[in-house]
């Protein structure tokens, strides 16, 4: 079964089309990246798949469950990490993870979350005292501790320093090896090239290329995905 199947997905705001008939599919255990500049429609696609906003047209399925119809079931098997998301500042890291874990079955979830976050003793500090990197690690732990079948991460390393960003990339790769499927959006093309099995280049609401990073580089005779993107949109 495909983890994600999207066919002719459209999102309109009045007469404006933010997403213009996008189609792609993601295999189970795959890290799939949506790459494109700001305003290309990446976050809109992620939000539709995360059941946050409604599609205007087309079809989207997550592990066979139809988005817009089986939303309650979909929310049990996915997790979504929005770009630049925060957490409840008056809670400690532990309290925040416990709050999220309380919506799922399984006593081990909280402990797993604490381990993934790698916050050590700081897990019992208030979130308002965390650095940006610590908050992002906590949020990623929140997204992964429930062991979702699909993790949708919007700009997972946005605004982080090199060390924190690298830690998060390694974590994503480790969980993918264990069978978790990832749908990642980023405008950092070098990052996506490094962690994604396959990528879709998206521009102005349309997918212009889908393939493995190496094959795309070969096709466009480019040194990196940035060059691929520039040549593809010409």
Partner 1 sequence: MSLLNIVKKEVKELLTPATVLPVVLMFIIFAGMGNFFGEAAEKAKEMPKIGLACNDDGNASKIFVDVMKAYCNIVTWNNSIEEVKERKGFALIEVPSNFSSNIENFSKAGVKIYWVINDIGIANAFPYETIKNIIEIAEREIANNILEERKINASFVSNPINEEELTVFKEKEIDVSPSVILQFFSTQSTTVPIIVMIIILTSGGMVITSMGMEKENKTLETLLTLPVKRSNIIAGKIMGAAIVGFIIAMIYMAGFGYYISSFSGEKIDLSEYGLKLDILDYVFISLSLFSSLLAGLSLCIVIGAFAKNYKSAQTLTLPISALAIIPMFLIMFKGFASLPFSLKTIIFAIPFSHPMMAPSFLLLDAYSIVVAGIAYSFIFSLICIAIAAYIFKTDLLLVGMMRNGKKLFWKR
User: Which two structure tokens, joined as six digits, stand for 222?
Assistant: 């480019």
Measure the CA–CA gap between 50 and 44, rounded to whole angstroms. Answer: 10
- The residue range among 10-18, 28-36, 114-122, 180-188 that interacts with partner 1, by the rule CB under 8 A, is 10-18
Please return the burial class of 73, using the count of CB atoms within 10 Å of its CB with bins 0-12, 13-18 and 19+.
Answer: middle
| Minimum separation from the CB atom of position 5 to partner 1 (A) | 19
86 to 105: interface string for partner 1, x by CB under 8 A: xxxxxx---x---xx-xxx-
> What CA–CA distance (Å, rounded) separates 108 from 145?
9
Q: Does 223 bind partner 1 (CB under 8 A)?
A: no
Q: Which 8-state DSSP code applies to residue 28?
A: T
- Cα separations in angstroms, 64 against 29, 49, 74, 104: 15, 12, 10, 21
The site that binds partner 1 (CB under 8 A) totals a number of residues, namely 35
Candidate list 4, 33, 51, 160; residue touching partner 1; CB under 8 A: 51
Residue 92 CB partners (closer than 8 Å, separation 6+): 123, 124, 125, 126, 127
User: Is there binding between residue 111 and partner 1 (CB under 8 A)?
Assistant: no
Q: What phi, psi does 59 have (nearest 5°)? A: -135, 140
Query: What letter does residue 222 receive in the DSSP assignment?
Result: -
CA distance linking residue 163 with residue 142, whole number of Å:
20
Q: Is 16 in the site for partner 1 (CB under 8 A)?
A: yes
76 vs 118 by CB, closer to partner 1: 76
Please say which residue, 138 or 216, places its beta carbon nearer to partner 1.
138
Shortest distance (Å) from residue 11 CB to partner 1: 9
> Segment 142-181, which members bind partner 1 (CB under 8 A)?
142
Looking at the Cβ atoms of 75 and 112, the one nearer to partner 1 is: 75
> Rounded to the nearest whole angstrom, what is the least distance from the CB of residue 192 to partner 1 in the complex?
22
Residues forming the site for partner 1 (CB under 8 A): 13-16, 18, 47, 50-54, 72, 75-76, 78-91, 95, 99-100, 102-104, 142
């Amino acid at each position: 079964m495909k983890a994600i199947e999207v066919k002719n997905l459209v999102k309109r705001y009045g007469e404006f089309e933010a997403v213009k008939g996008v189609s792609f599919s993601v295999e189970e255990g795959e890290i799939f990246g949506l790459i494109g500049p700001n305003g290309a429609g990446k976050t809109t696609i992620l939000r539709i798949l995360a059941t946050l906003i409604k599609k205007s047209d087309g079809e989207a399925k997550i592990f066979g469950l139809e988005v817009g119809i089986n939303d309650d079931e979909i929310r049990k098997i996915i997790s979504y990490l929005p770009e630049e998301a925060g957490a409840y500042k008056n809670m400690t890291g532990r309290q925040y993870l416990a709050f999220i874990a309380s919506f799922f079955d399984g006593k081990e979830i909280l402990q797993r979350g604490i381990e993934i976050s790698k916050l050590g003793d700081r897990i019992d500090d208030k979130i308002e005292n965390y650095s940006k990197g610590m908050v992002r690690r906590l949020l990623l732990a929140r997204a992964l501790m429930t062991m979702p079948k699909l993790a949708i991460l919007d700009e997972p390393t946005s605004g982080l320093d090199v060390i924190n960003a690298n830690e998060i990339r390694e974590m994503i790769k480790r969980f993918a090896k264990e069978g978790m499927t990832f749908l990642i959006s980023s405008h950092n093309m070098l990052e996506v090239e490094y962690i994604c099995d396959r990528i879709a280049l998206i521009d102005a609401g349309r997918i212009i290329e889908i393939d493995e990073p190496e094959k795309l580089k070969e096709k466009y005779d480019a040194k990196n995905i940035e060059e691929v993107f520039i040549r593809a949109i010409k």
